[in-house]
Structures are given as C-alpha cells and as structure tokens.
Amino acid sequence: MSGKGNGADGKTDLANGSLSSSPEEMSGAEEGRETSSGIEVEASDLSLSLTGDDGGPNRASTGSRGTDTESSGEDKDSDSMEDTGHYSINDENQVHDRSEEEEEEEEEEEEARPRRRVQRKRANRDQDSSDDERALEDWVSSETSALPRPRWQALPALRERELGSSARFVYEACGARVFVQRFRLQHGLEGHTGCVNTLHFNQRGTWLASGSDDLKVVVWDWVRRQPVLDFESGHKSNVFQAKFLPNSGDSTLAMCARDGQVRVAELSATQCCKNTKRVAQHKGASHKLALEPDSPCTFLSAGEDAVVFTIDLRQDRPASKLVVTKEKEKKVGLYTIYVNPANTHQFAVGGRDQFVRIYDQRKIDENENNGVLKKFCPHHLVNSESKANITCLVFSHDGTELLASYNDEDIYLFNSSHSDGAQYVKRYKGHRNNATVKGVNFYGPKSEFVVSGSDCGHIFLWEKSSCQIVQFMEGDKGGVVNCLEPHPHLPVLATSGLDHDVKIWAPTAETSTELTGLKDVIKKNKRERDEDSLHHTDLFDSHMLWFLMHHLRQRRHHRRWREPGVGATDADSDESPSSSDTSDEEEGPDRVQCMPS
C-alpha cells in the first residue's frame, strides 16, 4: 500500500514540478542538495520536461517502476539524470579534469617521443661508431702485423762476400729490408721557388733533374748539394716532367707541362742550356713521358686530350699520333704512361677512368677494341659508381708486373702477362691519394718494394711480397708528397712535393724505424677517405673550367700578335707544332689540377 501511495504522490508532485514526493524521499534527498545546489536546477529542468503535453504521464509512470528504485531520492535523481542525458557539475569537472590530464599526457608523450627517437639514434650511432672503430682497429692491426723473416741478412751476406761466393753484394743489399727500414733524411736541395713536380736520375746516377711550378728545370749534383745548371724550360705553365734521354750523354732532356707542350732541351758540356724547342703539342695538359730504355731519340707522351704521341727527334716533324684512348666512344684523358722495359713495343696508360690499358705499337687497330691489347681493373671498381682515376702506373724492372695508383683508392699490382680483365694480385693500403696527381714507384733492383707519397705528408714503403708497411717517413711540411725517384744503383731515394725543395734519403739510421704514429696516421687517412667518398662533390665543372682556360689562352695569343715586334720568330716556331695532327674535337675538357704552389 505504501508503495502505491508513494507512487501516486510521486505523480502528483511531479505534475506540480517537484522532484521529491514524500517526507521520506525528502529526507533521502537532503544529502544530494547539500552536495551541490546545481542538482535542483537540473531537477527543475527535468520536471518541466516531464510535464509536457506529449507523453508526460507515461514518462512519470516509467520513472515510478519498482519500489526499490524509488526508495531514495538520490537514486531517483541519478536515474532521472541518466535517462535525460544530463550530468552533474562534479561529473563535468571530473570529465574535464580527465581530458586535461589526457591532453597533458599526450603532450608529454609528444615531447618525449623525439627525445626517445634521438636517444635511439644516438645509441645506434654509438653502436655503429663502436663497430666501425673496432673494424678500423682490426684493419689497422692486420696492416701493421708482424713482418715475415727477411730474405736478405747482413752477416751471412758479408760472410759470403768474403768467401767470394756472392759477386752482387751491393745489388742484393740495395733491395734488402734492413736498409729500407733505416732510411733517414740526408739533406735537401734548395733552388726552386715553386712546388717540385718531377725528379729523374741520369743513367749513371750522378745527376738529378727537377722541374717545378716556377717553370725552371734544375740539374743537381745531388751528392755535393749543388746545382750543375738551371734554365728556363720554355713552358708557359707548371712543368710536370723532365727526363734525361738514355744513351744521350746526359745532353738531352725531354719535358712536358700543363700547357700541353712537349719540349726538348739541349745541354752543353759547358754546363749551360743551348735552347729548348717544342716537338709536340697536346690539346690539354701533358703529365708524363715514357722513355724507351735504350733509345736516345724516341719517346712517348700522353695528355689529357686522350692522345698518345710517339716522338722521334730524328724526324722533321718529330711527333705523330699513335692512338686516341677511348672507352667505347668516349675519350679518356690520360695522366700517366710507361713503356714495358722488357718489350719496348708495349706501353701502358692510365687516366680518367678505372682501367689500365696496355697497347702494342705494332698492333694498334682503333676499329678493333679501340686498339687495346688488354685491360686490367680491380673487379670491385669495374662497375663502381665512384669516379676512380689512375694517377700513376709503372712497370717493374723486368716488365712482368704493373703497379697502378688510384685516386682516393689503394695501390694495385697486376701481372702484366695475365689475360685481359684479370684481377689484381696484390693491394697496398694505408696512404691517401686525393689532393694531387700522386706518383707511385717500385724501389729496389728487383722491384722488391712499393713506394708512394701521401696527402698526409708522409712517405710509405711496402714490402711487395707481403704488402706490409716497412717504412714510414715524414716527407713534406707542405702536406703532400707527389714524386718519388729511386737511385738506379744505390740505396738512395729522392722525393719532392708541395715544399720547394728536393729531399734525399739514405739508410744511415743506427736502428730500424719504429713506425711511431703509423696507426694513427692510417686511421686518419682511412677515416678522411670514407668521409670524402660520402660527401664528394666536384668543386668545378670540368667542362666550364676547360672552356675558361682555353678562352684565356686564346686571348693571350691574340694579344701577343697585336703587340708590335711580335711575329713568327717566336721560340715556339723552332719546330713545327704537332697540333695539326689533331682535330678540335679531340680536345678534351677532362683534367686534374695540381694544387697551386
């Protein structure tokens, strides 16, 4: 009964706009009112909505179902608010607080995410760096491991010499590791005002010729540290090579330079230069000459125009084009050339690509494989995207081996008798060849060692057979050693580079070199080379640079002819230039510029 009464009263009160229907319900709702005054406002809105014309009693009856749910005003308030979608201010504040907390958490998460990403990257980088450092340490350790037992030993050799069983003591001693490990700087030869690009001993080993950016050639008595003579080369730009022609009585020097000219100097017995004359003209810099071991009249020249000239001083027109070096249809500018001493018909060239090319002068047919007899290249460089260039190559003393130095790469030894496309047989690491057109050479009467300069200013000597570094010397203060010339008979080495002097080295140290600091220098060279390979960019567009140089040369030429008193009596007209043998389209833009002095 009370349930019904309560229900009826509830209906009446709801109709009058009141939420509570009895004193019991009022007492049950007191706590709700004390908690928040906003509940009455919400309840009032609810009562008004229930007294509407459409379905008001039905909603009231729905709200009165079940005596358990109507026993408490607080429960009724809660049910009514849930049914109508209204919430208390406290609930709104809680929702608002939760949303603010969630937003703060999201913001913190957003801020923390980049930090975690950076931390992960730093950890990965540290791990990679640690792995790279370990790999570098392992590599350096392998390159500086213990040397094998030397083939030549002083005491047994001296004993054999005393007994008369070894007639070639000096010859064998010059190729001994013990002498190489005792190299020490003897003295410098000072006479140039520019960096020294070329060195060459005469056949007897008594004179040493040097050429420089100062356009002079000096012939030295290197033992007495005095110049025998010095003269203007006649070149208009850096002298790259000056060589005594063999069997000429040290009276003829052949020269080439950045201006592309090949010139010959006639030296007199009175220690003066009679004159120099141009015998060939490349349409690009000419870096190297190749002498035939027994010929005082003939030699080869190579230029960045991809042309190889054969020059015979007995002819009215000394130069004739021998071959134009090409890869498919593209010309390959040349930096180096060398004649095989065991077969003077063969010569090798290298330049603006990764291939060592060997030609035979008797079999050059440019319609068949561009005239190439065979090509060599380290297999990992054949299809490499890196722009590998060959800066220097040389044959061994007997012509069986061919050594090639690659720009920003290593030095490779090939067997010249192997078939076309054969892999290298030895590899020499540790130096850096990037800044200039770096030289490389054999050292020893039987080519027992490999010697090269480096951008770090040091001279490296490797034992050819083991590929181990056996000597490591600080060469140039200027930072780059370019040229290395072994004496033909004695354990003596001449070197030059960006410094303006020539340095003479001999095995006069009391003890063998300890190779102090070698590991650090090797690490530094390796690290710099790897970094440059990732961020390498050409400083100049070679085609634009070539065009500007060519244009400046043309302007100077026309200006000279406009000046009064200048005519065909120029010294360059002493010999007919060989530029007529080449066409304009053979002129190549590819060139490597040496660092300025």
What's the chain's average pLDDT? Answer: 77
Whether the pLDDT of residue 80 is over 50: the answer is no
Task: Identify the helix (H) or strand (E) that includes residue 555.
Answer: helix 542-562
The whole-number pLDDT of residue 113 equals 75
- The owner of tokens 């069983």 is 165
The whole-number pLDDT of residue 166 equals 62
**Percent of the chain residues topping a pLDDT of 90:** 47
Q: What is the DSSP letter of 369?
A: G
Q: In this structure, what token pair is assigned to residue 89?
A: 């201010």
- The owner of tokens 């007492």 is 27
Output phi, psi for 336, to 5 deg.
-155, 150
The domain segmentation of the chain, as residue ranges, is 2-86, 92-143, 233-388+538-591
pLDDT digits (tens, 9 = 90+) for 107-125: 777 777 777 777 776 776 6
pLDDT digits (tens, 9 = 90+) for 151-209: 766 667 676 767 676 667 777 888 899 999 999 999 999 999 999 999 999 999 999 99
Based on DSSP, count helices (H) and strands (E) in the chain, helices before strands. Answer: 12, 30
Q: How confident is the model at residue 104 (pLDDT cuts 50, 70, 90)?
A: confident
Task: Look at residues 130, 99, 184, 270 and name the one whose alpha carbon lies nearest to residue 493.
Answer: 184
The whole-number pLDDT of residue 117 equals 74
Q: How confident is the model at residue 398 (pLDDT cuts 50, 70, 90)?
A: very high
Q: In this structure, what token pair is assigned to residue 238?
A: 């850096």
Find out whether 205 and 488 touch, Cβ atoms under 8 Å: yes
3-state secondary structure of 227: strand
Task: Look at residues 61, 70, 88 and name the one whose alpha carbon lies nearest to residue 25.
Answer: 70
Q: How confident is the model at residue 471 (pLDDT cuts 50, 70, 90)?
A: very high
Task: Please indicate whether residue 396 or residue 7 has the higher confidence score (pLDDT).
Answer: 396
Output phi, psi for 586, to 5 deg.
-85, -5
Task: Please indicate whether residue 242 or residue 38 has the higher confidence score (pLDDT).
Answer: 242
**Percent of the chain residues topping a pLDDT of 70:** 65
Beta-bridge partner residues of 472: 460
Is 233-388+538-591 in CATH node 2.40.128.630? yes
Mean pLDDT of 453-480: 90
Determine how many CB atoms are found less than 10 A away from the CB of residue 536. Answer: 11
Q: In this structure, what token pair is assigned to residue 421?
A: 């496309």
Whether the pLDDT of residue 243 is over 80: the answer is yes
State how far the Cα of 411 lies from the Cα of 387, in Å rounded to an integer: 15
Exposed/middle/buried for 484, CB within 10 Å: 0-12, 13-18, 19+? Answer: buried
Q: Where are the alpha helices (DSSP H) in 175-321?
A: 177-180
3-state secondary structure of 574: helix
State how far the Cα of 20 lies from the Cα of 26, in Å rounded to an integer: 6
Task: Look at residues 421, 431, 381, 424 and name the one whose alpha carbon lies nearest to residue 404.
Answer: 424
Q: In this structure, what token pair is assigned to residue 378?
A: 């380290």
Rg (CA), the chain: 44
State how far the Cα of 259 lies from the Cα of 233, in Å rounded to an integer: 12
**Poorest-confidence range of 41-45, 157-161, 208-212, 303-307?**
41-45
Question: Between the ranges 102-106, 289-293, 554-558, where is the mean pLDDT highest?
Answer: 289-293
Q: How confident is the model at residue 361 (pLDDT cuts 50, 70, 90)?
A: very high
Which residues have a Cβ under 8 Å from the Cβ of 503 and sit 6 or more positions away? 185, 187, 188, 189, 475, 476, 494, 495, 496
Q: How confident is the model at residue 549 (pLDDT cuts 50, 70, 90)?
A: low
State how far the Cα of 512 lies from the Cα of 69, in Å rounded to an integer: 105
Question: Between the ranges 54-63, 303-312, 573-582, where is the mean pLDDT highest?
Answer: 303-312
Find out whether 263 and 313 touch, Cβ atoms under 8 Å: no
- The owner of tokens 């890196």 is 386
Beta-bridge partner residues of 194: none
3-state secondary structure of 589: coil
Whether the pLDDT of residue 336 is over 70: the answer is yes
Cα–chain center distance at 256:
28
The whole-number pLDDT of residue 375 equals 96
User: Going along 325-475, which residue ranges are E strands?
Assistant: 326-327, 330-331, 334-339, 346-351, 356-360, 374-376, 390-395, 401-406, 411-415, 426-428, 440-443, 449-453, 458-463, 469-474
pLDDT digits (tens, 9 = 90+) for 132-162: 666 666 666 666 666 666 776 666 767 676 7
- The owner of tokens 């010309």 is 331
Q: How confident is the model at residue 579 (pLDDT cuts 50, 70, 90)?
A: very low
State how far the Cα of 364 lies from the Cα of 216, in Å rounded to an integer: 36
Exposed/middle/buried for 326, CB within 10 Å: 0-12, 13-18, 19+? Answer: middle
pLDDT digits (tens, 9 = 90+) for 473-519: 998 887 789 899 999 999 999 999 999 999 999 999 998 888 888 88
Beta-bridge partner residues of 486: 493
pLDDT digits (tens, 9 = 90+) for 260-298: 999 999 988 767 887 899 999 999 999 999 999 999 999
The whole-number pLDDT of residue 146 equals 65
